[in-house]
Chain A
Amino acid sequence: MLAQDDIGRKALLSYLATFLVCVAVVLGISWLYTSTQRSRFMETGYAVWDAKRTMVSNCDVGQVAVFGDSRADSALIPDRLKKVATNLAVAGGTPIENFFFVKSVLACESKPAIVMLSFNPGAFEIIQPWLWDNSVGYGALGWQEVSEIRHEAERLKDASYLAVTPKLGIDGIFRDAAYSHGFPGIYFNSLLESRLMGKTAMNRQKFDEVVMARGYPSYRRVAQVAGAGATKVQETARFTPLPIQQSYFEATLALLDRAGITTYFLITPYNTTNVNTHNQPYNAAYMAYLHRLDAKYPRFQLLQSKPPVWEQAMFVDGAHLSQEGANVFSRLLDRCIEGAAENANLGGGCNFDHPDQSAKVVELLVAKAKK
């Protein structure tokens, strides 16, 4: 009990009411700012997303649209392809959010002739916090989409979805509500780091760069993170895709199939130093899973029969290709697509590890790139 009780009830109620109003006003202003001015304070990753989303909303995806994760994001330089292509793969992307991106693209009048999907096996096995920190937090997915995902997870009895705790530190339906409605707490660290608006010029430049490069953001070499980007797979681990990821991946394939679009699955190069590369049973199970889908969906094909394995020199870290590596990979892919156009069906014929098709070509292209 407090000794002093000389403040009237009215004054205290007025104090509490003013307090609540001030909380609401500050939160409201912050909410408005963080929902409308993200490019002023967000990290450059946001500008990359924003550029890709703008291309989608402008229905500017060309003849080949690539969807996938950060490995695909780093591996494909659309300019290196003869066909007009767009790299719409996103950092931390999994089949879930890519289903919605594909859906948006298919809503356009001019649809791409070819869609490429590219996910590392880990993308099927977990739900990344990035689904909220990036896809929802950046505004690409809203309440309707996350509710749909949650209901699908409940239908599949996949508990992994509800358990994920992104940066905000909450899970379940409250996490979905906070992220999809852009609760300003999501952006607090970015606001602090940018001192409210210190990233404007940097983000504008990055946005323009990515739009110019048709979705390709140049990955820079990062010191001391050789393992970054690599999903840690133990040598004894088995490939176990989550029901929710499988469901959305198949929904994507069905959607593309119905739209009459040829869909290729592309496996970006594995790094020789990556532990995933050496787990043969794991990779075999991954390929078997993809082959099953290849057989199920007539318009879906695997471009490769096994994951290509490249030397560390072509990567910026343990998983992402450098610009040089991306250059080589994109040229190889171009040949592959052109070949596909001629042969109509590749049937996994683009083996980037094949000595004739890969090693020598890579060698030549590296030499050329260096010149």
Chain B
Amino acid sequence: MLFNSYVFIAFFLPVALAGFFASARLGRASAAAWLVMASLVFYAWWNPAFLPILIASILINYGMSEIVAKSGHRPALQSALLALAVGLNLLALFYYKYFFEVAKFLTQGVGFEVHADPILLPLGISFFTFTQIGYLIDVKQGVAKERGFLNYVLFVTFFPHLIAGPILHHREMMPQFAEKLTYRFSLINFSVGLTIFVMGLFKKTVLADPLGGDITAGFNMPGDLSFFGAWWVAIRYSMQLYFDFSGYSDMAIGLACMFNVRFPLNFNSPFKSQNIIEYWQRWHMTLTRYLNQYLYNPMALAVVRWRSEHGFGTKRANQKTLGGFLSMTALPTLMTMALIGLWHGAGFQFLLFGLLHGVYLTINHAVRIFRGAAPENPSPRAARLSRILNIAATYIAVVVGLVLFRSRSLEGAITMYQSMLGLHGFAFSIGKAEIIWVLVLATIIWGCPNVQQIMGKFGPALTKVEAFSKRLPLIWRADASWACAVGVMLAISLMAMGGTSEFMYFQF
């Protein structure tokens, strides 16, 4: 079921909400059970055949987590059990997400015949698998304290995050599900949640979806695009993805809020970033956090240990040496980013997308480490100019990377890059109305506060964001002007919803 569908807005959400708070009168367990059932219906709506996969994944992971927890007195066995559990998760993920593509590559590329039929990807498998792997690791490390079965199932299946994130951490969710107040209807949470949901819906249906048509055509035939056409398509795609993911993230936070639950922030105006490090701290924030916690940090730590054991320095000064930088910064960064790329899909273009960002990040780190501090007290004008240039450079780097992300194949991406370099001519055929619309979108991206900044006073997400501007204090209030503005947004979104597409991150 899509958040941006009539059936969700008109039937599922009201029934889920009413049932949750009504059943809460019978006790927390019944309310949690209701929400689990509602979430399973939500998941099964698209394709009921995938429901057993989700249920099996939950049962196996919960069972394994309990065994891992109870084997704490035998650390070697515990580690082996954890490895087995994580391995099973990764195997399932590999089978559904990568097996067909790998088999195709082996058969067509290497000549080693492996028979495989295309496998339909269960919705949200990357998200619920990663969530549960994180839980398993934390159970092993003794970090997971709240381990009740019902709360665990609710933590994994809670429908606002089930299909496309954010990737939740049990430490931030399980206590909320154990909290009494979560089960009591709150008018302010409902109002704030509804407002955020509507803003997200508007971004998705009115700002993101109408950009789609030309983008698909452009990426299908990149060789037909001129220099301007190719950049135009790439920029429009970056905006479509931006508003799609931003809209989804807002809707997820808004929905959770209606149920008195707060999610971590997943999207924080990433195109306002002044460098790539900052970009990844603002884009798909929970994936970055997850991979930092469970991949980058352990890897970096292992390198430090290795260097220490082999007599190499591990201090900040050692990071400024070429060997120190390459082993302690570049290697973990590149490996983590390659995996982020592959997390999005099995094609080579995704691997290259990750590696390209790995290179960006490595350069960014190198500049920070080797160049030293920026000049102090620049004039306000110079600071503003530098800020604008940094944002522009970061955005262009992101757009270049997104070509790999969106292209149907590596060949398609290369052809698109050729067009972007002007190898297929410089014809200009962009309509005035299209330019105006993209300028409007650009103003929203770079010139307006984001939803969290507008609603931040009410703490709808677990992560705080800094205020947008003192000169433009656009803060939500429960008054008539805001009610009308949000009402108009919902009315337009309801009209624009017909035939809108699924969220782009659903495919991952």
Contacts and interface: CB of A to CB of B under 8 A. Distances in A.
A joins B in a complex: yes
Nearest to B182: A1
Nearest to B4: A169
A2 B458 contact: yes
Contact of A27 (B6, B192, B194, B494): B494
A259 B364 CA distance: 83
B189 interface: yes
A12 B498 contact: no
Given A19-B486, A22-B484, A1 B262 contact: yes
B497 interface: yes
Given A1-B179, A22-B491, 19 more contacts: A1-B182, A1-B260, A2-B189, A4-B188, A7-B191, A12-B478, A15-B482, A15-B483, A16-B191, A18-B487, A21-B487, A22-B488, A23-B488, A27-B494, A30-B495, A169-B5, A169-B497, A170-B7, A189-B499
6 contacts: A1-B179, A2-B257, A16-B483, A19-B486, A27-B494, A189-B498
A27 B487 CA distance: 10
B351 to A, nearest CB: 34
Nearest to A5: B188
Given A18-B484, A169-B6, A174-B6, A12 B187 contact: yes
Interface of A: 1-5, 7, 9, 11-23, 25-27, 30, 167-170, 174, 184-186, 188-189, 192, 195
B367 interface: no
Given A1-B181, A2-B192, A22-B484, A185 B496 contact: yes
Contacts of B498: 167-169, 185-186, 188-189
Given A2-B458, A169-B6, A26 B499 contact: no
B186 interface: yes
A192 B210 contact: yes
Nearest to B500: A169
B264 interface: no
B483 A185 contact: no
A188 B186 CA distance: 35
Contacts of B181: 1
Interface in B440-460: 457-460
Contacts of B494: 23, 27, 185
| A-B pairs with lowest CB-CB distance, top 8 | A22-B487, A26-B491, A18-B483, A168-B498, A15-B478, A19-B483, A185-B498, A22-B484
Interface in B148-190: 176, 179, 181-182, 186-189
Contacts of A195: 433
B405 to A, nearest CB: 26
B179 to A, nearest CB: 7
Contact of A4 (B182, B260, B457): B457
Contact of B189 (A1, A169, A184): A1
A185 B499 CA distance: 9
Given A12-B187, A19-B483, A4 B458 contact: yes
B6 A184 contact: no
Q: Which of A15, A17, A169, A192 has the most CB of B within 10 A?
A: A15
B479 interface: yes
Interface in B406-446: 433
Contacts of A26: 487-488, 491-492
Interface of B: 5-7, 176, 179, 181-182, 186-189, 191-192, 194, 210, 257, 260, 262, 433, 457-460, 478-480, 482-484, 486-488, 490-492, 494-500
A170 B494 CA distance: 13
A18 B194 CA distance: 14
Contact of A18 (B458, B480, B495, B496): B480
Given A15-B479, A188-B498, A23 B182 contact: no
Contacts of B457: 4
Contacts of B182: 1
Contacts of B490: 19, 23
Contacts of B484: 18-19, 22
A23 B194 CA distance: 13
A35 to B, nearest CB: 13
Contacts of B478: 7, 11-12, 14-15
Contacts of A13: 187
Contacts of B188: 2, 4-5, 7, 12
A3 B491 contact: no
B483 A9 contact: no
A2 B459 contact: yes
Contacts of A12: 187-188, 191, 478
Nearest to A22: B487
B499 A167 contact: yes
Contacts of A1: 176, 179, 181-182, 186, 189, 260, 262
A16 B188 CA distance: 10
A27 B186 contact: no
B173 to A, nearest CB: 13
Q: Which of B7, B179, B498 has the most CB of A within 10 A?
A: B498
B187 A168 contact: no
A22 B483 contact: yes
Contacts of A18: 480, 483-484, 487
